[in-house]
Structure 1
């Protein structure tokens, strides 16, 4: 267990002057005019625009500067003065551009014209919007619907997502893959099974009422820095924060609030984590089980002595199922196994358990460090087990809090973006729009790319994602993607996926959420759901980057109309012209959430989504919240035994990154400059292999499927990480992740625990 010390790689508090310098730097880098930089003052405000970056909540009473470093970078990235016009493609062929670094592709600027790939010249060439829609529609009509996938990233609004899922189902499939499949589907599955809802139950108000917080596998300083304000407030109230994370991350150690003169003008900062446990990669189930075991043991002692119970036994009896089976499993678990697999001592887990037993309201925050594992769903279920022991779900200041990434990734699923027909209101859609929706299960992202590799897909309509860069097994995916008969890419900027054109490929530029969306009925607004299950309106505030850029709803409507024709009862032109009509239909589909939404969507703090688990109503098979007995304590129980000297690779984001978007090559929090081709390694592991700082190595995946997966050109960086565990950046390490290495039940890629060996060799890069 770590005491109050700072990271050796970045011996400063997160936030502070470093954050302000980074924001200033990105605004200058993107040549954002002073007038446009003022839009940051409208970011995450009740009548402004929702951040295009993370999905952290928009408060009812916002700070003057309700944006963080990451959000400011995302906004500057969209507000850039740089443009990619048709003249750009006159100068650069696709073959030439494919040699550019990912950062340089997006750094080229905003796309301004609809384009179609011309294989004769190896260039994208302009095409009128209506012609693009007509051609795409004609091609889609010629394919078996089962061979087409509709993918959406988490930046699409509720309105766009509702339109896309309806289009796909009218077209004839449930192949609605999305970015949730890549990250928090383990949450959607695990929480749904355990408490009857697939999202967290915690709101911003709960952070003011909690008296203990846990963090598992979530780097708040990089992935959701605005959350640090709430953590700082909690720490000032004396709330302990207990962190479990393999790497020592500055954002979870100390925070200097850039909005506080006292923090900025003095050495003052706030210690965030009161306990910091560097759990081994893949050891989360074992660590949580150790805490549960200690709590149950303490309750057994209290029961035997006739003392007050440690467990909330009344809650367990009335509201849960399966406690006795789980409790016996925990009692029988061996401490040798728990300590070996978690990498933590019994004393360290006892310290965490002691705090848990003292607290009356507990929040567990977690991120992809918990979900992107073979046992990711089990990890989520173990979080619920821990909370249920003391009744920490369905009361103020308590509950599970999955911290989502993309700003509307949770909302997309709410309005029907799902490959699982049982999760969509198909009967209601059938009645509402006079068609028969397909009832067969569709493909999620992993399944879709399995079909791509197998040559079984004809088309992918890609709404906003850089798919070939974000998915596993890139060296197998890229040639298969290029062989697709049709790819349709809706994007704000150029990315790697656009440079692997299929036999027919279209590049359709869309508005950013920050931009004013003018349609026939006037300026439009959209809405989204944050990670605390609140719905918010969002209003663009700057002019579009070009006169021929169109909104995502406009593009979806255009393709849908051209594809479906008279088969569809929807007036797609009317929806394109007035998004309020879309919201009216959303209200008919889900009246409990969206009825009268037009007048409620600007509610400060958001419209609260109804969640039965918040009221201790459990929509599970048993009608109660369900304890679960873990299948195994360790990661990858069904994979071949690792060879001696093997390592567990976890993929990471940097502070200069949002998903596949790379703002620059530095990661100041980890002391990395000028390159992302690095491996963070424990000095003891370096010594065992005769490695020194800066040595060049390759990594090879340990698997027995006959596929060689190797990436060369990494530099070794000593770092405070558990022995046997290493870190490398996403997406650079994606070629090492097998497509089949995913979470049981959810199929989330297992990017946080990839078995690898160090291979001698330098040179090369991704």
Structure 2
């Protein structure tokens, strides 16, 4: 690699323009072409970030046919106060952003959305739906941006153009011909606050509370668990707390792929000596080594980057409650020793007495817990958990981060609440530098719930909606994601109207759900790109293409701004500036308003046209309905770094029934107690995402950070398990769910490969392996699919030489 010039203030670009640094410093052999005919799996020892990340971005941009200058100009606006908010993850945006305030996956999402490729009427004229059903998820989305409203013609087996006004009229007629309770209005995590608020009003005026969203599939365990513990459905920390903390926990989160910009704050914490202790069944590169692309010195250095986790523990999949119990048991022992010797207490007894409820029961549970059982269930030695307890006991400001490794289990709620218990023991809640940090996925999935996207009546201001707009809100809870799937299977759901997303790929039981989907009456998809959900044709089907967040949205009052909420409960403005992909596109708020005018004319006083003409009026309506969280919404929305919602737990106001923070004691260590893995040949499958995807969007077939190139059809296994089952690297297997419900769930012709996994666990990629996930295997109260613990058996198909 040749050297490039730098100066103390930042980058000095060789040649003409910033891309000269990115291309001119890339004379290495790190680049891997995607070769699905000859996939390879090997150890990847490079850090997260660094030149591997830059090379990947350049490769994707080139493959999409994008001009470097165009991409650079766009990325310079990403996550900036005067620009657009990233369309991928929801991690927080700083008030003083870096020059490159985006990560590899965020930039890939921008490339994917701003591609010059078009999936237009000519494309649909060339291909039948039956043909397109044979294409992969990657190849469908790779056709580019949708440009024209389309309606499915069953006689041709093709989508054909339809006028917007005809589509709205016909969709409304179909919906008004059925019981509103049989219609579902789904929302993906990308729709802005303004659109989401309008969407839920339209559905309720129509008569449906069926408003499932992306959170149902990932962090609903948080949304149920945290309010019971601390009175808030979201985390308590902001970026200021990350700047102050002196220790972090990470449980079950692949930060390097799913929220890479967080790595900057982790790196800074490590540089000031803060321990970062990670519990994850899979060794993820992002929390092992990181080389910061913002730093020329790091990028040009030959070293391996920053060691991100001071301690990394491969907890057995589903063993987190046991591990946290072991840490808590160690803390109690240290507190006992401190009292015996007259030293300061390890427990924050003043905080517990003043602010907490249920501590005595929790203490009994932990003290009575058997170390042998803790070790067996967690898969971790006692001395390692006691070491973590000692490190934790010395810290003053601790943040507990977690992801779907905690939430996607049968007892996902208890997982979340046990982490809260661990923090409450030492008063690590509601003070600077400390708190709970659920790391959400999609860019506005948290915010949608804030403005009314929920099937639960108790979470919306029913009386205000009825008073403000003169209609009656349906008085029973609606369907969440699991309820929607059950309704599609039994035929009670007749219509599915989606504001974004790829619902059928994100949900469990793929084969059963795809078959049942075709028996519905109506399927409407508001989208930017083609995906499989468009091709699962009901009796009547529409594709309604919309403007993307990065594009200019001009309405009657001029250019419009939208807003969204990040993982730290901060609200941000977002300004699109790119030319829309097609003149035929409508904005999401415009589509919602026009559909509402056709569907529920005269049934409310909602001023749909006024709202579309000026989105500021929608924000006024949001503030009116939610005055505490959205005080002075329009004045504050442009605040650099966003403005923070009123999260009582962040300043020790506990909005719980007890009026205090609650220690909530689990019933068991086993977070998935009703699946049988006692047979020697049954493994627990953990679904994973590659660093070349975001949620169901597959950017490519390489998972660079795991060294998997050219394939997603792989099962990563513990080497001892492979030997025990008579398997070798690159053997081909069929994978079948081990259940007794009479349903065969199976995927075929996967290759196995030895990996650093706990014994009894294996891993493979979502969403393809959703085919193995039973619909009933979900969080007991939150209904989140338990995708981190699927019981499976592998059957060898015959040996094949290593690629």
Q: What residue in structure 2 maps to residue 146 of structure 1?
A: 181
Aligned to 2:702: 666
2:545 is matched with which residue: 505, 509, 512?
509
Alignment of 1:548-587 (within 5 A): 548-587=584-623
Match of 1:689 among 719, 725, 728: 725
> If the length of structure 2 is used for normalisation, what is the TM-score?
0.93
Contact 1:149 / 1:176 at 8 angstroms: preserved in 2?
A: yes
**Does the alignment pair 1:179 with 2:214?**
yes
Shift of 1:596: 2.1
- Asked if 2 retains the 8 angstrom alpha-carbon contact of 1:712 and 1:762, the reply is no
- Spell out the pairing of 1:287-436 with structure 2 (5 A cutoff): 287-436=323-472
Residue 132 of structure 2 corresponds to 97
Identify which of 629, 634, 637 aligns with 1:598: 634
Partner of 1:20: 54
Q: Conserved in 1, the CA contact under 8 Å of 2:220 and 2:782?
A: yes
Match of 2:600, SS state, is helix
SS of the equivalent of 2:76 reads: helix
Q: Which of the numbers 695, 707, 715 marks the counterpart of 1:679?
A: 715
Corresponding residue SS for 1:350: helix
Cα distance in 1 for residues equivalent to 2:722 and 2:527: 42
Rounded to whole Å, the distance in 1 between the matches of 2:669 and 2:527 is 42
Q: 1:366 deviation in Å?
A: 0.5
CA–CA separation in structure 2 for the residues paired with 1:214 and 1:715: 34
- DSSP-derived class of the 2:544 partner: strand
Match of 2:152 in 1: 117
Task: Output the CA distance in 2 between the equivalents of 1:463 and 1:758.
Answer: 38
Residue 235 of structure 1 corresponds to: 270
What is aligned with 1:439?
Answer: 475
Whether the 8 Å contact between 2:731 and 2:797 is mirrored in structure 1 is no
Shift of 1:212: 0.3
Where 1:566 maps in the other structure, the secondary structure is: coil
User: In the alignment, which of 73, 77, 82 is matched to residue 112 of structure 2?
Assistant: 77
Unaligned runs of 5+ in 2: 1-40
**Per-residue deviation, residues 126-177 of structure 1 (Å, max 9, x unmatched):** 0011110111111111110110111000000000100011111111121110
Select between 302-311 and 736-745 the one with higher mean Cα deviation: 302-311
Would the alpha carbon gap of residues 749 and 762 (structure 1) be closer, same or farther in structure 2, given more than 3 Å must change?
farther
Alpha-carbon contact 1:9-1:719 (below 8 Å) kept: no
Q: Deviations over 1:207-228 (max 9, x none)?
A: 1110000000111110011111
Q: How far 1:303 sits from its partner (Å)?
A: 2.6
Q: CA RMSD in A?
A: 1.2
- 1:427, distance to aligned residue in structure 2 (A): 1.0
SS at match of 2:715: strand
Instruction: Name the counterpart of 1:478.
Output: 514
Given that residues 564 and 573 in structure 2 are in contact (C-alpha distance below 8 angstroms), is that contact kept between their aligned partners in structure 1? yes
Q: 2:562 aligned to 512, 526, 530, which one?
A: 526
Q: Give the equivalent residue in structure 1 for 2:788.
A: 752
Query: CA separation in 2, counterparts of 1:342 and 1:8?
Result: 28
Superposition deviation, residue 60 in structure 1: 0.2
Corresponding residue for residue 257 of structure 1: 292
SS in 2 for 1:536: strand
Q: CA deviation at 1:595?
A: 3.0
Between the aligned partners of 1:755 and 1:180, the Cα distance in structure 2 is 24
Mapped to 2, the partners of 1:443 and 1:9 lie a distance apart of 44
In the superposition, the TM-score normalised over structure 1's length comes to 0.98
- Which runs of structure 2 are paired with 1:138-287 in the superposition (5 Å)? 138-268=173-303, 269-287=305-323
TM-aligned CA deviation for residue 521 of structure 1 = 1.6
1:128 and 1:36 map into 2 onto residues whose CA distance is 32
Residue pair 2:677, 2:683 contacting (<8 A) in 1 also? no
Matched residue, 2:85: 50
Shift of the alpha carbon at 1:8? 7.4
Determine the C-alpha separation between the residues in 1 that align with 2:749 and 2:538. Answer: 29
| SS in structure 2 of the partner of residue 151 of structure 1 | strand
Aligned residue pair count: 757
Distance 1:562 1:762, change over 3 A: farther
SS class of match (1:113): coil
Q: Deviations over 1:317-369 (max 9, x none)?
A: 01000111111110000011100110000111111111100001100110011
| In structure 2, distance between residues paired with 1:696 and 1:210 | 47
2: distance between equivalents of 1:450 and 1:587?
Answer: 35
CA distance in 2, matches of 1:225, 1:630: 32
What are the Cα deviations for residues 440-496 of structure 1, in whole angstroms up to 9, with x where unaligned?
011100110111011111101111111111100001000111111001101100000
- Give the alignment partner of residue 171 of structure 2, picking from 107, 111, 136: 136
Question: How far is 1:280 from its partner?
Answer: 0.5
| TM superposition shift of 1:33 | 2.6
Q: Secondary structure of the equivalent of 2:748?
A: strand
C-alpha spacing 1:118/1:250, structure 2 compared with 1 (3 Å): same
